[in-house]
Amino acid sequence: MISEDDVKYVAGLSRIYLQDHEVGSLQKDLEKIIGYVEKLQKLDVTDIEPTSHALPLTNVFRDDEIKPSLDRTETMKIAVDQRDGAFKVPKVIE
Amino acid sequence: MNLNELTAHELIDQISSSQISPQDVHKSVRDQIDAVDSKVKAYLRLNDNPQNYDAASPYPIPIAIKDNMCMQGIETTCASKILQGFKSPYDATVIRKLKDSGAILVGNTNMDEFAFGSSTENSAFGPTRNPWNLDCVPGGSSGGSAAAVAANEAIWSIGSDTGGSIRQPAAFCGVVGLKPTYGRVSRYGLIAFASSLDQIGPFTKDVRDSAMLLNIIAGYDPMDSTSADVPVPDYTKALTQDVSGLKIGIPKEYFIDGLDAEVKAAIDESIKVLKDCGAEFVEISLPHTEYAVATYYIVATAEASSNLARFDGVQYGLRSFPEKVRKSSLIDMYEESRDQGFGPESKRRIMLGTYSLSSGYYDAYYLRGLKVRTLIKNDFEKAFESVDAILTPTSPTTAFKVGERSDDPLSMYLSDIFTISANLAGIPAMSMPCGFSQDGLPIGLQLLTKAFDEEMLFRIAHTYEQNTEWHKRRTKFN
């Protein structure tokens, strides 16, 4: 069971502000989807290793060499707001 | 036939013998876009400064790109308001390889927002229509790329496939769509949805073109640590017409109640064609098939919720503040930017993923999902001990009507029931045309093989294609 309070809690974790009218429909949708995925509880997964990745890759290292990278001035053109070549955001500490 | 209706290998023959120029082909494609894209809406934007035309380059072919692959200096939005105006400072590896091979980048195609969907109705910029019937969806999430090739608005296109997003629209639009083995094609510059499942692949009008396009984009890339350092063969060499002695498995779990009778009849007929060519068919079992959709919607949304955390208004894309608050905090900015920027399906998936990763639910949902993923992967490994390939329908139905499933997320998710397992297992899979319904809508068959055995896919698909005519049909517009 997913309550409207659960929806608001998860929205908070997801850093999404929800308008009041969005809460009800998301509650219904999420409850239906989570109800469907409950079928996984039927399976016995004792001693089964989890697969987080299809390829057997662990610790992909490379040599620590200096190589050309994106030009800073050019790249900062994507910034919503900037000052002195850094991204500018609202004040974090009062 | 007009130039835009030809395949790339036909065009390359004519270009290399100087009968036509790459400009002629591009013009033919652009004329078709002018004529039909107001109806199909395959493209989000056109590239007015494509590469220099070079008839001497190996592949001077007009190609459309799904709008989730970065092209330097060009807007890349994932069909989301949160990325509107974002111009990438670099090229994705796939784009660089296409440019190096002389391809003409026609434009960027529509998609479900962040590739979340199976109909291209979740685009923030309006839906794409199916070129075979404009009342129907083209499938998704790479619906714009599939529709562009089917409507002859591009010779080739590129899509991405996380749970069927190349194969299902390829089936709905009557074109060839390939999801390569996970790691076969670099994901560098592909805006991530679910990093352990995403793979880039080609849309083409026939199997030979698919092999040519995979030749261009495949290969190890140090910029993507999950790309596989495995040699890339010349896939066109696999285009033989010989399946004698091959054993093809038919998984009994795929012939379910919801399978449309016309789709089933077309699949039965394709099995006959391949039998006549010498292939042997055996019934196999993939016992955990019924858990694939549930597993996928745990694993994929968990990864998506993490990947999409970067869209917060801080660096690029949309930044928005609540209207009523005079002085906004950083968190107000995050929350308001994400509320304004993400559409309903993106919010659903981010929240579902956040839920299954959250404290108290991680073991019951996410970790359990990863364990069931192991069971699904093992099903395929076991099956490929006794068969060379597996044949299934690509989707249980033909293209559905626009609006038909958009109010019910779960019924939309179930349209990917046959394609999702390949992503969970990391294996390659292709959809190709194998018939048409009475209503004139295309039907797709899906072939699957073991990891890094795309050559087997091409071999079987090419044999089937050379003994049928489905790939020669073209859409017509009044």
State pLDDT tens for residues B123-166.
999 999 999 999 999 999 999 999 999 999 999 999 999 999 99
Mutate to test the interface with A, among B74, B298, B315 (most CBs of A within 10 A): B315
pLDDT of residue B211: 98
The domain total for chain A is: 1
Q: Which residue of A has its CA nearest to B294?
A: A37
Separation between Cα atoms, residue A14 and residue B374, nearest integer Å: 28
B389-393 β-sheet, strand order: B43-46, B104-109, B62-66, B156-161, B199-204, B176-179, B429-436, B442-448, B389-393, B247-251, B280-284
**Is the pLDDT confidence value at B454 over 80?**
yes
Q: Which residue type does B70 have?
A: C
Task: Collect all residues of chain B within an 8 Å Cβ-Cβ radius of residue A63.
Answer: none
Cβ of B294 within 8 Å of Cβ of A74? The answer is no
Report the mean per-residue pLDDT for chain A.
92
Instruction: Please indicate, yes or no, if residue A6 is contained in any of the structural domains.
Output: yes
Domain residue extents for chain B: 3-243+400-472
**Active site includes B141?**
yes
- Closest partner residue to B375 (CB to CB) among A7, A19, A48 is A48
Cβ of B355 within 8 Å of Cβ of A39? The answer is no
- The residue range of the domain holding A23 is 1-44
Instruction: Please indicate, yes or no, if residue A64 is contained in any of the structural domains.
Output: no
Closest CA to B366 of B415, B306, B411, B288: B306
**Segment B351-383, tens digit of pLDDT:** 999 999 999 999 999 999 999 999 999 999 999
Distance from CA of B345 to the nearest CA of A (A): 10
Contact between B298 and A37 (Cβ < 8 Å): yes
Q: Supply the CATH classification number for the domain B3-243+400-472.
A: 3.90.1300.10
Q: CB atoms < 10 A from the CB of B171, how many? A: 32
Helix axes B8-16, B22-40, angle to 10 degrees: 150
Q: Which residue of B has its CA nearest to A37?
A: B294
Catalytic residue among B41, B66, B97, B450: B66
Instruction: Please indicate, yes or no, if residue A86 is contained in any of the structural domains.
Output: no
pLDDT of residue B409: 85
Distance from CA of B248 to the nearest CA of A (A): 23
pLDDT of residue B276: 97
**Is the pLDDT confidence value at B326 over 70?**
no
Cβ of A70 within 8 Å of Cβ of B89? The answer is yes
Q: Is the dihedral of CA B428, B433, B434, B438 positive or negative?
A: positive
pLDDT of residue B464: 98
**Active site includes B359?**
no
- Closest partner residue to B372 (CB to CB) among A26, A45, A92 is A45
pLDDT of residue B413: 86
Buried b (16+ CB within 10 A) or exposed e, A14-30: bbbbbeeebeeebbebb
Q: What is the DSSP code (8-state) at residue B51?
A: P
Q: Which residue of A has its CA nearest to B82?
A: A80
pLDDT of residue B325: 65
Contact between B249 and B214 (Cβ < 8 Å): no
Separation between Cα atoms, residue B155 and residue B152, nearest integer Å: 6
**Active site includes B17?**
no
pLDDT of residue A27: 96
Closest CA to B343 of B45, B82, B44: B82
**Is the pLDDT confidence value at B414 over 90?**
no
**Segment A45-92, tens digit of pLDDT:** 999 999 998 888 888 898 999 999 999 999 999 999 999 999 999 888
Q: B119: which strand partners? A: none
Cβ of A33 within 8 Å of Cβ of B424? The answer is no
Cβ of B409 within 8 Å of Cβ of A92? The answer is no
Cβ of A15 within 8 Å of Cβ of B312? The answer is yes
- The predicted model scores a pTM of 0.97
Task: Collect all residues of chain B within an 8 Å Cβ-Cβ radius of residue A75.
Answer: 89
Q: Which residue of B has its CA nearest to A59?
A: B225
**CA-only gyration radius of chain B, Å:** 21
Mutate to test the interface with A, among B291, B318, B351 (most CBs of A within 10 A): B351
- Closest partner residue to B196 (CB to CB) among A7, A54, A79 is A54
Q: Give the Å distances, CA to CA, from B3 to B23, B30, B62, B325, B466.
A: 11, 11, 11, 58, 22
pLDDT of residue B469: 97
Separation between Cα atoms, residue B199 and residue B228, nearest integer Å: 12
Distance of CA B25 to the CA centre of its chain: 24
**Is the pLDDT confidence value at B51 over 80?**
no
- Closest partner residue to A70 (CB to CB) among B90, B297, B352 is B90
A·B CB contacts under 8 A: 164
**CA-only gyration radius of chain A, Å:** 23
Instruction: Please indicate, yes or no, if residue A3 is contained in any of the structural domains.
Output: yes
Instruction: Please indicate, yes or no, if residue A31 is contained in any of the structural domains.
Output: yes
Instruction: List the end-to-end C-alpha distance of chain A, in Å, as a whole number.
Output: 40
Tell me the three state secondary structure of residue A16: coil
Contact between B413 and B119 (Cβ < 8 Å): no
Instruction: Please indicate, yes or no, if residue A39 is contained in any of the structural domains.
Output: yes
